[in-house]
Amino acid sequence: MIVVIDSGSLINVFDQTPQRQKLVTWLQRNPASSLYLPTLAMEEVLGLDDAVVVARLRVMLEMYQAAPRQVLIAAEIDRQPTTVAEEASYSLASLVGADQDTLLSPARALRQIAVQASLGKDFGFHSDRTGAEDHAKLFGAPLDAETAVAIIEDPNSATGLLLGLAPVVALSGGRLTEEDFLAAPSRYPVANLLAHFACRHLLANQVPHTAGHAVIAIFRTKSEKRGGRGAWYDNAIASISALADHLITEDGDFKRKCDWLAARNFLRFQTTTLADFVAQRCPSSMP
């Protein structure tokens, strides 16, 4: 079983010892299972002051040593469900036995990465919140809500796929071209899922804010207070999880997006909270 955990749930793993111990016990009793911590979640969770980062790195090392080769920091889950593209600069194995001074080096590097990640969130959030106005400036009017809904709900929309593919190709840094993807989308499960998230995300944010429709409400970026600033990060973490069995998240809005796509067979994993996951698989009565 492959389990991916997002940033909010990862904070709970770090800060709630009973939950963490149950999760580690489950891994130890299921040696074929793995827990993947996406680099995106790591950047967000660890990018704090030195003391907090070092403390959380130590917790991660404890988990890694308790369940070797089952706790991994992943750039993305590869095409085969049993392999993972591991981020070398975040290797937990390389930090085993590290002293305080040694841990400070990756801690400070993570803080700088977190600063850049925060700027990226600001840019994405601003673009989402002005999406309708930007569409109107470009095309003379905001996107019609009925048109957006039709494309969002169409599982075979070429228009929607091409719209979602544009940011995917841009984010690939030259590793993926539109032609390569369209020739065989199933070869690129992470990119494929991100394209499906991205097109619906973009469409929902290009209609007027007053437009009311259930599916638009699901994919439209929420206010900053409701976590909307991290909407693109959520899309990316879900896409990294394309070949996972479970995605652990505490974000109800994020879960609704995933569940909508899962109900239409766009993704294979199930979303659950950390508390529900450990309650189902690590009951207190377990011997």
Round to whole Å and give the CA distance between 278 and 13.
11
Contact 72, 118 (CB under 8 A): no
Round to whole Å and give the CA distance between 115 and 222.
22
Contact 8, 251 (CB under 8 A): yes
Tokens 């494929």, residue? 192
Residues 138 and 75 in one domain: no
Residues 191 and 255 in one domain: no
Round to whole Å and give the CA distance between 228 and 208.
17
pLDDT at position 11, please? 87
User: What is the maximum alpha-carbon separation in the chain?
Assistant: 66
Residues 23 and 103 in one domain: yes
Q: Where are the alpha helices (DSSP H) in 47-130?
A: 50-66, 100-129
Residues 55-72 pLDDT 10s: 888 888 888 889 988 887
What is the helix (H) or strand (E) element at residue 36, kind and residue range? strand 34-38
* Proportion of the chain above pLDDT 70, given as a percent: 70
pLDDT at position 53, please? 77
Read off the pLDDT band of 272 (50, 70, 90). Answer: very high
- The two structure tokens encoding residue 273: 């909270």
Considering the domain boundaries, does residue 237 fall inside one?
Answer: no
Residues 117-144 pLDDT 10s: 565 566 566 676 666 676 677 777 778 8
Residues 119 and 25 in one domain: yes
How much of the chain is in helix, strand and coil states, percent to nearest 5? Answer: 65, 10, 25
The parent domain of residue 255 ranges over 2-124+243-281
Considering the domain boundaries, does residue 256 fall inside one?
Answer: yes
- Residue 82, pLDDT > 60, answer no
Round to whole Å and give the CA distance between 60 and 228.
28
- The domain that contains 45 carries what CATH number? 3.40.50
- The region of weakest confidence among 49-58, 102-111, 149-158, 181-190 is 102-111
